[in-house]
Amino acid sequence: MRVFNRNRCLRGPAAIASLFLAVGCGALPSDSSADHAPIVVGTTSAPSTLDPAASWDGSWELFRNVYQTLLSYPTGASVPGPDAADFCSFTDGTNLVYHCVLRKGLTFSDGRPLDARAVKYSVDRIRAIGLPGGPAGLLGSLDRVTTRGDREIVFHLGRPDATFPFVLATPALSIVDPDAYPARSPRKDGKVLGSGPYTLTSYQEGERAELVRNTRYQGFAEPHNDAVTIRYFQDSGEMVSALRKKRIDVTYRGLAASDIVSLQNRTSGRSLQLIEGVGTEISYLVFNPKDPWAGRLAVRRAVAQIVDRPAIAHTVYKDTVDPLYSMVPKGLTGHTTGFFDDYGDPSAAKARTILRHAGITGRVPLTLWYTTDRYGSETAPEFRELKRQLEGSGLFTVTLESRPWKTYEEGYRKGEYPVFGRGWFPDFPDAENFIAPFVGEQNALGTPYPAPRITGVLLPRSRRESDRAKVVGQFQQAQQILVDDARLLPLWQGKQYIAASDDIAGGEQALDPSTIMMMWQLSRKTSW
């Protein structure tokens, strides 16, 4: 395997590490007005919707902070704990019945009661709306929801599912007010009514979201600030410039590799901190089986034989990502290197043989689609590099097309793209969440992928087992099926970077296991 190495001034171990890019910081004067000013967070990942029933994407970053779920992740935890719930547990030994009891006196931010009826309504409407590529795909094991009085909810599963508590902890299962959200369609007035740590006081699509502390909130979170403003940027350069000019305090999603390298090399020109954490974000290609070319197995395998992941990681991303050879990333139980094991180093000669055995002798025309405003500034260069690699083999003629996320998402749900790029931030930290969301008739891709052995045998077996270390075999088999089909082609695994002004604290604790930022962890320092 060809691996590129570069000396880097920051190497993150499994624990999150922090690098301060300036020295000589002395005591800072306390400024009460500054202490109470909103913390401004920049990101390139704007929500596609404000309704949890309509989103299985980066919109969750906002949802986590303004809505509440029965379970969530206490600081430092990798398994869910109570949030809106007082407690939850399976009531049987077969992982078929899950019982939750709500905290006493819960209300939405406007004072209306949050009760068992609201929880049942919130779950039922996800399935009633059934948006293609939406969060209904997370509820495949759920049969029905019942309530007992005002505080008890019982989830009856149609098949054993040890991962169901993780599903309940995702922002997709945010609790909404039955009187404020339609039962069979997404809410579209640009407003939010939740019970999370913050209330959304103002929202300008693609521009900003203004959050203030919800004084009625009851849950595990302990806010360290009174208000947060999230600003949405089109690219990393603009965002980092705003950070350097003190127009924002923190950057999160979308830092470009060049900006990360600049910060690592201490060339920022002012006092900043860069926090690097181990990440489970992945980038991959999706092949549409209904396309006359992408639908052919030989074509997909030839692409898999040509793609040079180390070159993408080094040339485009400056080694701020790692090559990935399976849909399950490194660091999770069950990870394999199936694509490298089967294909080895990139080889145009091997790809040509694959195509010729399928009777394909001319150049294969492929159109590759990517989004312009979701996964960071390197997306366009990444796809130009893919085009260069594929056309350089002499076997493909590649056309590149792109759209902003909102229309891009609509396009792949309608099956418009032969090959398209996606990124994935995990719903929960388990290998299942890098397999199950992409297979089945209803999945996160909006592109049906039956995979009957995965959906009908391997996943059901794994879900019976609460000890996830005992299901490695099932996940390995599932990954090999994905390799054999080559309908999903993993490219790289990312790391997590947060850049912040040096007067901001809490960045090391701000990411949950799904790498969603918990804004309430951020605060301003008054002294060093």
pLDDT in tens, 271-329: 899 988 778 889 999 999 999 999 999 999 999 999 999 999 999 999 999 999 999 99
Contact partners, residue 501, CB within 8 Å, separation at least 6 = 243, 246, 249, 250, 271, 272, 273
Q: Count CB neighbours of 295 within 10 A.
A: 14
Distance (Å, rounded) from C-alpha 234 to C-alpha 224?
28
Q: What is the pLDDT of residues 32-67, one digit of tens each?
A: 444 578 999 999 889 989 999 998 888 999 999 999
SS (H, E, C) 30-92: CCHHHHHCCEEEEECCCCCCCCHHHCCCCCHHHHHHHCCCCEECCCCCCCCEECCEEEEEECC
274-291: burial string, b at 16+ Cβ within 10 Å, e else? bbbbbbbbbbbbbbbbeb
Count other C-beta atoms under 10 Å from residue 3's C-beta.
10
Choice among 81-95, 173-187, 435-449 with the minimum mean pLDDT: 435-449
Helix (H) or strand (E) holding 381: helix 379-392
The per-residue pLDDT for 246 is: 93
Q: In which element (H, E) is residue 238 found?
A: helix 236-244
DSSP label at residue 269: S
How confident is the model over 495-499, as a mean pLDDT?
A: 89
Question: What's the predicted TM-score (pTM) here?
Answer: 0.76
- The mean pLDDT value for 522-527 works out to 80
* SS3 state of residue 116: helix
* Residue located via tokens 């690098």: 19
Average predicted confidence (pLDDT) for the chain: 89
* pLDDT above 70 (res 124): yes
Most confident of 104-113, 407-416, 432-441: 104-113
Alpha-carbon radius of gyration of the chain? 23
> According to the model, what pLDDT value does residue 85 have?
98
Contact indicator for 449, 435 with CB cutoff of 8 Å: no
16's torsion region: left (phi>0), alpha (psi -120 to 50) or beta?
beta
Residue 25: predicted pLDDT: 35
Lowest-confidence range among 78-87, 161-170, 184-193, 511-520?
Answer: 511-520
